[in-house]
Structure 1
């Protein structure tokens, strides 16, 4: 396990935990008045619980789980539009597995498949493009969703379809961007945060400078982190060091993977294929300006919204966000106002087998992380 085992070394972890404890005590952090650090990425949330870091760090450190799960923030109306497209005659609808069980008003994609829709799980948009090549009599639609991590692969696939002139392939674009919702959270007067652990995979694409506003405009430290336990512990210590030194900056703990300016090939493909939407709805956060991407007119032939007449501005689309299922507190959990066990549905009406909300469905959802690594204990707390 080269390049993984060295970031899981128990001796090094104990040394970092001791340094974190010393810093936290020096800052006067206690369980009653903790230093609140938000990990933006759902992958970090799962790593924190997988390795028990929430229980190992000093009691004056509290992890706040951010909206860093693209499946979890998908609004119900978009799920309904997926089903509407998938149920049309002659359509093969393709998606990543995480999106199959996200509930909308009309159920989930997996329920639509049970009703007869041709919905298939794929591992990449290139798999969907290959389906289009092999099935020229069908319209093949790829459900493009995710943050900047997955956005380039969809863009490159659209470019490939355009070069080949494949007319029966399109993308239902639901790609979203990370920095904009963080600004919304920081502008919320009820949100108390002392620092951030920045997403590693997203930053691999966009670099670290899109987060400059967090330090410059709001005076909060942010450290882009890797996903192993030592990565996360070092990142926590780096945030605490900034607080202790009275400064706020964007720092890169994950420099072995994340380039300062991002990936130029990915950024170029994204700029060619996408443009910003004026706004996009986030489950739990509402409409956020310039936080979503749509396909540029030059690639309209591969835009499922244009091809099927769905999406923003389409007739019959709800004007206001759909409310969550009764008893579901996904919005409060996603914005750090509530921990999953405090949700009245957690472990009762909402479990991985019978999920009420997206946070229990996705492999990166906070509720799924609590359940997987805490289970009945977390539900009883």
Structure 2
């Protein structure tokens, strides 16, 4: 069995990855089983560089706030701002502290320097403006969409004025109250003002759609794409806040599902552009349903990857990342009967495995699920093997920025 499995392993290179797939996908998803480890981001960065040079990929998208990601995109495409400022204000979830993310942004800016606009690499965050403790105010996205429409559409067509939006939005603090995540009574998402904002946001997006030919001609496809992002984000946030205020037993299931739905909508919009490498937790990118326990509940919902795959088919590909050890987090050598244990037995420190070849090598045998002693690391689920196009294996993960 070990010899057969060894035959499925290849260097993590763009060419080797493409040979695992029936065709070059518009979205190539690279997952990770834990966050905050630069060693995994270094692998991502090198693969992206090769995809750019060899396969014509033009965009990288990561699990970060889609609105904040615009700051990074402006910098890498036009040089607006400074690298320090971009790392401080262009990433959510603390990703701006990562040396590997900093190197990615630096390299993209250097690559784009002096190139025509059509050849510049693009950066995107594809998560909503959401953190585990709550959600952002819809102010930024909603007012940006209104401002775009106000500049290019007759004022009589707008459903409201900017002053009305400002009054209904009120202060941002009630929207971002962290207590609302666990207590619906603390949320403003079903207030009279929030309900009116949902209707206005829907009207603004409808007007935006109706005026598409004019807007693209009057501004640019890029400006229109950005305004469309504002609309998706505004309506998504208002919907998310509505469910934060809900007392239904399905409340948490809806919240995690809405987050992945927002991710999927952003990814499908990116798929209309250049081929993109996307990077996030395996659980967001897998083709199978995602599961987790939160607040004593067992939650199950369709991941962003499953949603995107249902629409793109073979134009979506997923490489899950597995790892052997994270010694600084108490994750030791994997048991030999797990997926990670079988891959750990091979000599190489880093490689990509043909997932279909691995399944064939295993035959009727299915590995045991690895149990993680560290809450921040999710081992591969052996039941999901058929949903992977490949598995990137990192044998040992050294101490990284988050653990220092």
Q: TM-score, normalised by structure 1?
A: 0.32
Higher relative contact order (CA 8 A, sep 6+): 2
